[in-house]
């Protein structure tokens, strides 16, 4: 449960402290600290004894650095002030079986952001934060302590996205960015409730994009396309926003890679574009329809087989069959082809292709690059809903 804190408490890491340390090191450099008469070089003596202009120049440079840091701090405060009203703290309880007839209560803490859809308000968060929790056991709280009641819940297991409908006056939805425009090195802020400490803020950069095939427990998170960040993310940050420098949400903090259970500088966030595509389908249809290509793939595609088919190395997904009447068959893809790229993304293996297809909007026409008999070809394919070919039961 949450510990009492000053409501304006903000945890800021990295960046600012590092710059301050560098400044202090400069201000206490040997040339500035040598007493008069003890300088070891003429240059040092001139700087300390008689060069008033050098002192003034150094002081002016120091003042510029201080003003730069103050501007950075004002920017951070403004971004956080804009964002905090649309971030919620979530606490959920559920019953977990410990023996054949025994149960115990498990508590989960996390975060979420407020979004709107057709004039209604929802909290967007991770499914694992509220999984198996009755609505009456889910507590949602704004920054100012206002409590919101969860009225309905939707979730998608394959992407770990959940939505809670809430009601209340004066709710402020989060500003959403475009995660497709995010790049490695971009500065980001992570907001959440690490260890139950609600509305905490950390600072870092985007370390990598397109992380997938992560081992994230047994919850069935199959479709992965994570942003990786070194902004500190800890247990309780799940569902909270990853923000760009404009204060726009570009991701939903979801998981960490850690040997200790705490932050070790490797956190993962679901891109907001992907999260919103899932959310919109859940609200419009009550389920998520996945895009479908209609190919069967060789899970044992080896480097030796790739060389045999004319590739210099193992890459792509090897087609071993097609679904009759599927988008792939109608586009002219054949058994034996190797899919090298899908919608401009180089395909590494069969799992990568499954992820890319599943994350593609239904009805979109994409270019598929294939390798056939020593030649590279490109064919247009319009993906369709998987439910037309393979009815899928969506767990909520």
Whether the pLDDT of residue 16 is over 70: the answer is no
The predicted pLDDT at position 44 comes to 42
What's the pLDDT band for 210 if we cut at 50, 70, 90?
Answer: confident
The strand pairing partners of 243, in sequence order, are 189, 249
Domain boundaries, the chain: 1-288, 291-388
Whether the pLDDT of residue 205 is over 60: the answer is yes
Kindly give, in sequence order, each residue whose CB lies less than 8 Å from that of residue 315, ignoring residues fewer than 6 positions away.
Answer: 306, 340, 346, 347, 348, 349
Taken in order 385, 278, 164, 234, is the CA torsion positive or negative?
A: positive
The predicted pLDDT at position 233 comes to 84
pLDDT digits (tens, 9 = 90+) for 49-93: 456 677 777 777 778 888 888 887 888 888 888 888 999 999 999
What's the pLDDT band for 389 if we cut at 50, 70, 90?
Answer: confident
pLDDT digits (tens, 9 = 90+) for 278-319: 999 899 888 888 899 999 999 889 999 999 999 999 999 999
The predicted pLDDT at position 20 comes to 40
Per-chain mean pLDDT for the chain: 81
pLDDT digits (tens, 9 = 90+) for 231-267: 888 888 899 999 999 999 999 999 877 655 555 668 8
What's the pLDDT band for 216 if we cut at 50, 70, 90?
Answer: low
For the residues of 143-184, what is the DSSP string, one character each?
A: TTS-EEEEEEEEEETTTTEEEEEE--TT--PPPB--GGG--T
Kindly give, in sequence order, each residue whose CB lies less than 8 Å from that of residue 367, ignoring residues fewer than 6 positions away.
Answer: 341, 343, 344, 378, 379, 380, 381
State what percent of residues in the chain have pLDDT above 70.
81
Tokens of 21: 């340390």
Instruction: Kindly report the pTM of this predicted structure.
Output: 0.72
pLDDT digits (tens, 9 = 90+) for 174-189: 999 999 899 999 999 9
* CATH architecture, domain 1-288: Beta Barrel (2.40)
The predicted pLDDT at position 394 comes to 37
Q: What is the 3-state secondary structure (H, E, C) of 41-84?
A: CHHHHHHHHHCHHHHHHHHHHHHHHHHHHHHHHHHHHHHHHHHH
Taken in order 367, 268, 176, 79, is the CA torsion positive or negative?
A: negative
The predicted pLDDT at position 370 comes to 96
Whether the pLDDT of residue 28 is over 80: the answer is no
What's the pLDDT band for 17 if we cut at 50, 70, 90?
Answer: very low
The predicted pLDDT at position 46 comes to 43
What's the pLDDT band for 377 if we cut at 50, 70, 90?
Answer: very high
The strand pairing partners of 268, in sequence order, are 228, 255
The predicted pLDDT at position 112 comes to 95
- Please identify every residue annotated as catalytic: 128, 160, 238
> Where would I find the H helices in the chain?
16-27, 30-33, 42-45, 52-83, 127-130, 272-285, 303-308, 327-331, 350-358
Taken in order 191, 195, 198, 200, is the CA torsion positive or negative?
A: negative
Residue scoring higher pLDDT (280 or 219): 280
Least Cα distance to 339 among 307, 302, 291, 298 occurs for 298
State what percent of residues in the chain have pLDDT above 90.
47
Tokens of 360: 């593609």
CATH for 291-388? Answer: 2.30.42.10
Please check whether the two domains, 1-288 and 291-388, share a CATH topology. Answer: no
What's the pLDDT band for 220 if we cut at 50, 70, 90?
Answer: low
The strand pairing partners of 345, in sequence order, are 342
């Amino acid at each position: 449960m949450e510990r009492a804190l000053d409501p304006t408490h903000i945890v800021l890491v990295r960046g600012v402290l590092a710059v301050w340390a560098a400044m202090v090191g400069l201000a206490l450099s040997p040339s500035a600290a040598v007493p008069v008469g003890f300088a070891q070089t003429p240059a040092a003596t001139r700087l300390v004894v008689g060069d008033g202009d050098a002192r003034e120049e150094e002081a002016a440079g120091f003042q510029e650095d201080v003003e730069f840091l103050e501007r950075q701090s004002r920017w951070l405060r403004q971004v956080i002030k804009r964002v905090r009203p649309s971030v919620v703290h979530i606490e959920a309880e559920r019953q977990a079986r410990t023996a054949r007839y025994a149960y115990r209560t498990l508590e989960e803490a996390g975060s979420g952001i407020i979004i709107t859809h057709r004039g209604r308000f929802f909290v967007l968060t991770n499914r694992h934060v509220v999984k198996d929790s009755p609505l009456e056991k889910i507590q949602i709280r704004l920054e100012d302590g206002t409590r919101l009641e969860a009225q309905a819940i939707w979730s998608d297991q394959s992407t770990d996205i959940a939505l809670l409908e809430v009601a209340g006056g004066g709710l402020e939805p989060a500003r959403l960015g475009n995660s497709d425009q995010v790049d490695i090195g971009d500065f980001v802020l992570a907001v959440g409730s690490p260890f139950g400490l609600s509305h905490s803020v950390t600072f870092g950069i985007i370390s990598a994009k397109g992380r997938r095939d992560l081992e994230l427990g047994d919850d069935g998170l199959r479709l992965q396309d994570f942003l990786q960040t070194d902004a500190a993310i800890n247990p309780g940050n799940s569902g909270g926003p990853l923000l760009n420098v404009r204060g726009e949400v570009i991701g939903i903090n979801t998981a960490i890679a850690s040997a200790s259970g705490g932050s070790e500088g490797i956190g993962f966030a679901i891109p907001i574009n992907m999260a919103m595509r899932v959310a919109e389908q859940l609200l419009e249809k009550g389920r998520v329809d996945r895009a479908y290509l209609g190919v069967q793939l060789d899970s044992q595609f080896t480097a030796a087989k790739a060389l045999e088919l004319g590739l210099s190395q193992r890459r792509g997904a090897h087609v071993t069959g097609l679904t009759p009447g599927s988008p792939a068959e109608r586009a002219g893809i054949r058994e034996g082809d190797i899919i090298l790229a899908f919608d401009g993304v180089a395909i590494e293996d069969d799992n990568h292709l499954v992820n890319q297809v599943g994350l593609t909007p239904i009805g979109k026409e994409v270019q598929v690059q294939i390798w056939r008999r020593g030649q590279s070809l490109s064919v247009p394919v319009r993906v369709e809903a998987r439910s037309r070919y393979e009815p899928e039961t969506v767990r909520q």
